[in-house]
Amino acid sequence: MMKKIRIAATPPSFAPDHIREQWVGLEMPIKDGMDDDSGLRTGVENAGGYKVHPGDAIIALREAKKIVAYDFWKPRLVGASNLIFKKECCEEI
């Protein structure tokens, strides 16, 4: 069974507060391995965090009807191999 995270607190990011807050409560599968920090982080402070496939993150935003955040992140995630969330902002489920 694939492990998942739930975003429990607003992650640090270059995105505006109202966009970052939209991650809270969303659940996404974790990609294997946490030692490779390559990929787009929602902020530099997220190094060493949970890696998520960008497509899974976009789907989570869309399914939760977080359309403003979806529209913000979708073009920024094109071509990214990972999206990384700070461990302290997440819960493994």
Q: What angle do CA 28, 47, 65 make, to 5 degrees?
A: 30
pLDDT recorded at residue 61: 98
Q: What is the residue whose two structure tokens read 């989570």?
A: 60
**Interior/surface letters 34-66, b for 16+ CB within 10 angstroms, e for the rest:** eeeeebbbbbeebeebbbbbbebbbebbeeeeb
Kind plus residue range of the DSSP H or E element containing 92? strand 90-92
The pTM assigned to this predicted structure is 0.86
Angle formed by the axes of helices 67-76 and 54-63, nearest 10°: 160
Tens digit of each residue's pLDDT (9 = 90 or more) over 75-90: 999 888 888 999 999 9
